[in-house]
Amino acid sequence: MNTLKSLYKKLWTSLIRPERQWYSSQSLGTPIQTFESSCAKRLDFCLKNAFNEDIFMSVYFACNLEGRPNPSNVYVIYCHTHAASRIEGLGLLPLLIQKGIGLVVFDFRANGVGSGRWVTLGYKESSDLSEVVRFVKSELKASRVCVWGRSMGAASCLFFLSSSFREAFNRKFPRENRGRNVQAKAGQVPSKVEFAKFEQEQARASFYQKKDIKKTREDFEWSPADWVDCFVSDASMLELKQTIISLVKSKNKAIPEWLIKAATAVIDAEIKKKTFISVSDIAPVKTAHSIKTPGILVIGKIF
């Protein structure tokens, strides 16, 4: 019995409570980094998402060797994978900076050092991306923005850009009506943060909450999808339920599909209790029809 309970817990926690990828401020690089004839200046910020959770973000500004910002003011926002962090996107930094393009990386909720306990594989994380896009367009005055998402980050991107998904999200998570003023006023730049102060703060109360918040901030509004000029969806999970079935069958073809579906239903009940999200909700393919932003879909194939 204990073995079954342990297996059951391992199954659902692997989806919504994976091990966090902790890192130090040194992993973000120095405040100024040089790449041949270009350099990058880094600033760290803390935003609030739709559920009043912390989003820790780093912006790498493209500059020349004299430290003057690139006048084109173009940015790529990188969205990391499941159980990863903003460190994942730093591999793009040399390539982008040398082309005069800035890079924005951030930790999704419940990943890295972000607030929140339960991961929703792109569903709620799409509202994190919305706040980052708002900051880049409104505060950094970006002329063009590209969003590059990988795996869970790609699903978040597809959700964010879909108008039909936004409608479903707003119905599932209505706005708080108690008038809490938790968001910075329009036009007010969020405070810069010293990331090192948060390195030892890995046990914030939100890490141990039993379930997510049911309502969003009263003043939460989605960033316009047309603020994103293009996107790259790299290996997005298109439909989680079918992905689970295909993955299990690929590991052991002897397991009947009805048994896999029954097990998934049990796991789904646990996930829904903690996040208010069903496994069947995590399906970007169902809402992708309402995306109007041009983009590239990247998939892998095993031969």
The whole-number pLDDT of residue 22 equals 83
Proportion of the chain above pLDDT 90, given as a percent: 59
The whole-number pLDDT of residue 199 equals 47
Q: Which range has the worst mean pLDDT, 31-40, 96-105, 246-255? A: 246-255
- Tell me which of 17 and 40 has the higher pLDDT: 40
Contact residues for 118 (Cβ-Cβ < 8 A; gap 6+)? 16, 17, 110, 211, 212, 274, 275
Residue 160 near residue 129 (C-beta atoms within 8 A): yes
DSSP conformation class of 109: T
The whole-number pLDDT of residue 201 equals 53
Q: pLDDT band for position 250 (50/70/90)?
A: low
- Tell me which of 224 and 67 has the higher pLDDT: 224
Can you point out the beta strands (E) in the chain? 32-35, 38-48, 54-64, 74-79, 101-106, 144-150, 230-234, 295-298
Taking the model in full, what pTM does it have? 0.88
Contact residues for 146 (Cβ-Cβ < 8 A; gap 6+)? 74, 75, 76, 77, 228, 229, 230, 231, 232
Residue 46 near residue 109 (C-beta atoms within 8 A): no
Is 93 strand, coil or helix? helix
The whole-number pLDDT of residue 185 equals 40
Rounded CA-CA distance 170/108 in Å is 19
As a whole number, mean pLDDT of residues 39-55 equals: 93
- Tell me which of 164 and 213 has the higher pLDDT: 164
As a whole number, mean pLDDT of residues 244-268 equals: 77
Return the ∠ at Cα 155 (arms to 270 and 263), rounded to 5°. 30
Q: Indicate if the pLDDT at residue 292 is higher than 90.
A: yes
Q: Indicate if the pLDDT at residue 96 is higher than 70.
A: yes
As a whole number, mean pLDDT of residues 104-110 equals: 96
The whole-number pLDDT of residue 5 equals 59
The whole-number pLDDT of residue 191 equals 52
- Token match 């009263």: residue? 218
Q: pLDDT band for position 51 (50/70/90)?
A: very high
The whole-number pLDDT of residue 119 equals 94
Q: Indicate if the pLDDT at residue 303 is higher than 70.
A: no
Rounded CA-CA distance 57/72 in Å is 21
The whole-number pLDDT of residue 19 equals 85
pLDDT in tens, 178-237: 544 444 443 344 555 555 555 445 445 666 677 888 899 999 999 999 999 999 999 998
pLDDT in tens, 208-224: 677 888 899 999 999 99
What's the chain's average pLDDT? 86
Q: Indicate if the pLDDT at residue 35 is higher than 80.
A: yes
- Tell me which of 299 and 187 has the higher pLDDT: 299
Q: How does 241-256 read in b/e, with b if 16+ C-beta sit within 10 Å? A: beebbeebeeeeeeee
Q: Indicate if the pLDDT at residue 82 is higher than 60.
A: yes
- Tell me which of 294 and 12 has the higher pLDDT: 294
The whole-number pLDDT of residue 211 equals 80
Q: pLDDT band for position 8 (50/70/90)?
A: low
